[in-house]
Amino acid sequence: MKDILDNQNKTVCITGAGGGIGRSIAIEMNKAGYNVACADINLDGLNETLKLLNKKAIALKTDVTNLEAIRKMIHEVIKTFNSLDVMVNNAGVTRAAKIEDLNEKDWNWIFDVNAKGTFFCLQEAAKQMIKQKTGGRIINMSSNGAKGFVDVSNAIYAASKGAVLSMTKTAAQQLGKYGITVNSICPGVTLTDILQKIIATRAKEQNKTREEVLKHYLRDVPTGQANHPREIALMVKFLSSEGGRNISGQSYNIDGGVVPS
């Protein structure tokens, strides 16, 4: 089997690349020399991301809840770049809500994107990587909310990200024989547009300023700091690099130490 590291023209596909963490991942991987396929349902956001990248990048409007759209995404990646070496399943949704305020619509929406979308993107990427016989890296975006972070946006979100952790472990066990590694990243409080919306909701509910809400989120974080999206992107780059060659089935917290395992 040819090692992925021998490939001088590596390609990464990133879902949820229209902003936030996904955009930062696209930028860092593009800087590192990867061909970058940016996928998102938000075409305007994708176009903004593309402006920040060099010519080795494409934008693919993709709804990760639609299996045919996922298949088309992978097809376009191969059509353009001839291979898929790294798949980053980053697309995710949530909203700030208490348990008593959540409903079936929330469950379907959050699980469709975060769990179903991640699994079927993982599956289609794995099929392509197996076909190529060159190995590959699959990186799933979970959350420290899946591990008990007390200020998680809502319980359904936490459950959906727990599903991501579970599928990561099983996929790592089943795909290892093909030279494919599967890992997950669990960010904590990260300064994205989604977080700003959550903070705004909490501030209104609690009659506090946004600064006070953010300070509350960081009160138990040992480092006292929130993440910047680039820090998540750098972990993706490491897991895709030579240093990540034999790392699989793991979940990495990037949260300043608030969740210990």
Positions marked active-site: 157
Contact 30/53 with Cβ under 8 angstroms? yes
Tokens encoding 35 = 């061909």
Backbone angles phi, psi at 92, to 5 degrees: -160, 155
Q: DSSP secondary-structure letter at 228?
A: P
Strand 57-61 with 35-40, pairing: parallel
Residue 191 CA to residue 194 CA, distance in Å, equals: 8
Inter-CA distances, 226 with 53, 140, 191, 192, Å: 26, 21, 7, 10
Amino acid identity of residue 73, one-letter, is: M
